[in-house]
Structure 1
Amino acid sequence: MVYFFTSYWWLLFPIGFFIFGAWDRWLAYKRSRDHLDLLRSYAEKGQQPPPELVRGVGPMGADDLPGEAPGGYPPYGPGYWGYPRYMRRAYRHYYRWGPYWRWRSAFVTGAVAAGFWWASEYSDWPGTYEPFRLVAIIMTIVCVGNLVFAVMASAFRDK
């Protein structure tokens, strides 16, 4: 049993991320449920809820866009949700799959791969050469894939 914990200590990180991700989703569920309960209480009373409360309905607020640059709204109109559906879809598609995010993914995975390569060479802990080297190889392959997609996203940007 001691060998298991000393050999697989790194599994604490993905398990911890899973637990905290599940906790975050549970809190988001409770927050949206409480929000809908509040809207339901306004509807039962026959009152009009405040616009700030109605705007927060859904998985995100009126000003939040997942995966987009902050403040990166189109330069016209009252806000993202006031646009027709085809414009919102095009806007989401451009920023989600645009070259900026592809290059960012390539650089981040390259930095992580370089860190694991460095750790596999210069780590003073016994028995860490093989696991760090394995992760470094996998991250290098992921970085090369992200780099290929970034070059393709830049070369075929308007097509």
Structure 2
Amino acid sequence: MDTNDVQDLFRSYWWLIFPIGGFVFAAWDRWLSYQRSRDALDLIKTYSAQGKEVPPQLLRQVEEDAWDDEDDGYSGRRGRRAARRYYRHGGYWQFRAAIYTGAIAAAFWVASEYAFVPGTVGPFRVVAVILTCVAAANLALALLSSAFRKK
């Protein structure tokens, strides 16, 4: 493989940097969470071995990091945070996402119709179709979340 092949490969698939980067950062976040939980449990074991009482803050941290099932369908710290945000904002964020992705999809439809750069009609149309589907899904989620909101 010579340098022209590598350059062509990078030009064709440069956008893969973003999902791969997302996977790397998500894995790093999970690793740090694991380290934090492991250190907290080791500290609890140390307190127990010495016969001392475990501080309530440490127990609270372990409880928040644990993946426990609750009655409202949300679990763990992230789930409780999502439940608070859901009740605070309602369907607002879903409608907002539908409007933004719809506007961007419309911009790509216009760009595909009036393509000033040769060879961009096809890619712009593909992006426009994908964003239109995402906007429709966001709108459906917004309507469903406002119609079936938990009381």
Identity %: 53
- What is the TM-score of this pair, normalised by structure 1? 0.63
Q: In 1, Cα distance between the equivalents of 2:57 and 2:107?
A: 45
- One-letter identity of the residue aligned with 2:133: I
The residue correspondences of 1:6-155 to structure 2 (distance < 5 A) are 6-58=11-63, 60=65, 65-69=80-84, 95=87, 98-110=90-102, 113=105, 129-155=121-147
- One-letter identity of the residue aligned with 1:16: G
C-alpha deviation, 1:31, in angstroms: 1.1
C-alpha deviation, 1:47, in angstroms: 1.1
Q: In 2, Cα distance between the equivalents of 1:131 and 1:151?
A: 30
**Alignment length, in residue pairs?**
135
Q: In 2, Cα distance between the equivalents of 1:17 and 1:158?
A: 32
Q: In 1, Cα distance between the equivalents of 2:119 and 2:126?
A: 12
Over 3 Å off, 4+ runs: 58-64, 107-133, 155-159
Give the structure with the higher percent helix. Answer: 2
- What is the TM-score of this pair, normalised by structure 2? 0.66
Please tell me the root mean square deviation across aligned C-alpha atoms, in Å: 3.6
Q: In 2, Cα distance between the equivalents of 1:150 and 1:57?
A: 34
* SS at structure 1 position matched to 2:54: coil
* Gap regions ≥5 residues in structure 2: 67-75
* Gap regions ≥5 residues in structure 1: 71-93
C-alpha deviation, 1:50, in angstroms: 1.2
